[in-house]
Amino acid sequence: MKITDVELSEGVSQRTGNTWRRVKMLLEKPGMFPQRAQLDVLDSSEGYTKLQRFNLQPGMIKTFYLRFRLSEWNGKQITNIDV
C-alpha cells in the first residue's frame, strides 16, 4: 500500500500518566478502483522505538500484514487488528 499522508499525535495518559504517540496514516492500494484506508498505530514504548524504526513518510510503498481477532466481553463483540 502507498502511504499518502502521515500525522503524528503525542500526549500523556490521564489515567496512568504514561506518554504515548500515535501515527495516523492514510493508505491507498492502487488499481483500477483504488482502495483507501486510515490506519492508526499507537506506540507507548520507551523512546517510541516501534514507530521510529519504520521512518514512515508520505509516498512510501509498504507491505502491511494484518491479523484480525474477534473476542467477546460483557456481551459485546470486539474486533482487534494487529499490524
Closest CA to 44 of 2, 10, 83: 10
**Using only C-alpha atoms, what is the Rg of the chain?**
15
What does the pLDDT read at residue 50?
66
- The string of pLDDT tens digits covering residues 7-38 is 888 888 888 888 888 888 888 888 899 888 88
What does the pLDDT read at residue 45?
64
pTM of the entire structure?
0.62
- The string of pLDDT tens digits covering residues 25-78 is 888 888 899 888 888 887 766 666 666 777 778 888 887 777 788 888 888 888
CA distances from 54 to 48, 58, 69, 77 (A): 11, 12, 24, 31
